[in-house]
Amino acid sequence: MFVTEHLDRANKPLFSYEIIPPARGKSAKEILNIVEQVMVYRPPFIDVTSHPAEAYYDELGDGTIKRRIRKKRPGTISLCGIIQNRYNIDTVPHLLCRGFSREETEDAMIELNFLGIHNVLAIRGDESNYKKPMGSDRTSNVYSNELVEQLVGLKNGQYLDELAETDPMDICIGVGGHPEKHLESPNVKSDIKSLKRKIDAGGDYIVTQMFFENGHYFNFVKNCRNEKIDVPIIPGIKLLTGIKQLTSLPKHFHISFPDDLVDEAMASPKHVKEIGLRWGLKQCEELLNSGTRCIHFYIMNDAIDIINIIKKLV
């Protein structure tokens, strides 16, 4: 079922989740354990992140340095196939512009289509320390609206090669939104216009970057509606679980923390997890009371805290 169909048919609040594949060399057992934990609460869908190849530098025994190129977290498509077909939960693999050619994207969509996976999240992806070279026989999507356009083409049976008698793909296309604006946008107005290009290209719904102050989300929704963006907008929630996240999350995700949360956490660092749970619960209650149909939780591969919040919401 499409994500948008889950939203349309819901007669009670929905809670979806985002997980990351295990690091290279690890098994999928830990990730599947998380899926089994949240299954009790009947998630409508689970997102699985995607990661491009990066450059790593290993020191060899003779004192020299060797550069290696590899994906730290491969396995997005395989995990989606397991989750959807073993647990009967719709999955949403992330598709990236950065680090992937349009040809690789088309191949990935063919595999996903064969697996019965018809939801994707189309995003540009974070900057990497490795820029994959593109041969003369390869092309790339620079921006996520271009990726959306390619996916819409596949919905219409249009492939990169002019193939005869192709079958269209059933695809529901999600895109990302930034309640505090994308770091590269000069202001909120230009950021919303960039988002509208993704929707006009064929995006079916929006899921937001994490935020810790609901006012950012409510203003974001208002700005979207004023720009005639009428698709569903799903808020993304991350729980504060450690004092170090006060600096790491703004650094990596370009978000901010409200003063009240920072003051309370800094005053009692040993109780940050408890403070974060209480703050997250307050956020969720306010969102649901405002009429939000679905809350998307960034699990980061630890579901216990999220489950403790959901128990209080259902």
Cβ neighbours of 289 (radius 10 Å):
8
Structural domain tally of the chain? 1
CB 206 within 8 A of CB 176: yes
Query: 210-244 pLDDT, tens per residue?
Result: 999 999 999 999 999 999 999 999 999 999 999 99
Structure tokens at 56: 């790593």
295 CB-near residues (< 8 Å, 6+ apart): 13, 14, 15, 16, 234, 235, 237, 284, 287, 288
Alpha-carbon distance of 128 to 125, in angstroms, equals: 9
Alpha-carbon distance of 280 to 300, in angstroms, equals 15
Q: How many CB atoms lie within 10 A of CB 77?
A: 20
Q: Look at residues 70, 35, 65, 45 and name the one whose alpha carbon lies nearest to residue 55.
A: 70
Distance CA 90, CA 33 (A): 17
CA 109 to chain centroid, in Å, comes to: 17
Rounded CA separation 257/266 (Å):
12
Q: How far is 195 from 158, CA to CA, in rounded Å?
A: 24
Q: Both tokens of residue 271?
A: 């109780």
Per-residue pLDDT of the chain (314 residues; tens, 9 = 90+): 999 999 999 999 999 999 999 999 999 999 999 999 999 999 999 999 998 877 777 777 666 777 777 888 899 999 999 999 999 999 999 999 998 999 999 999 999 999 999 999 999 987 666 677 777 778 999 999 999 999 999 999 999 998 888 999 999 999 999 999 998 999 999 999 999 999 999 999 999 999 999 999 999 999 999 999 999 999 999 999 999 999 999 999 999 999 999 999 999 999 999 999 999 999 999 999 999 999 999 997 779 999 999 999 98
Q: How many other C-beta atoms lie within 10 A of the C-beta of residue 10? A: 12
Question: Residue 176: enclosing H or E segment and its boundaries?
Answer: strand 172-177
**Which residues span the domain enclosing 41?**
3-313
Residues in Cβ contact with 232 at an 8 Å cutoff, skipping those fewer than 6 apart: 4, 7, 205, 206, 293, 294
CATH number at residue 232: 3.20.20.220
Whether 179 and 213 have beta carbons less than 8 Å apart is answered as no
Query: What is the sign of the dihedral through the CA atoms of 123, 192, 180 and 13?
Result: negative
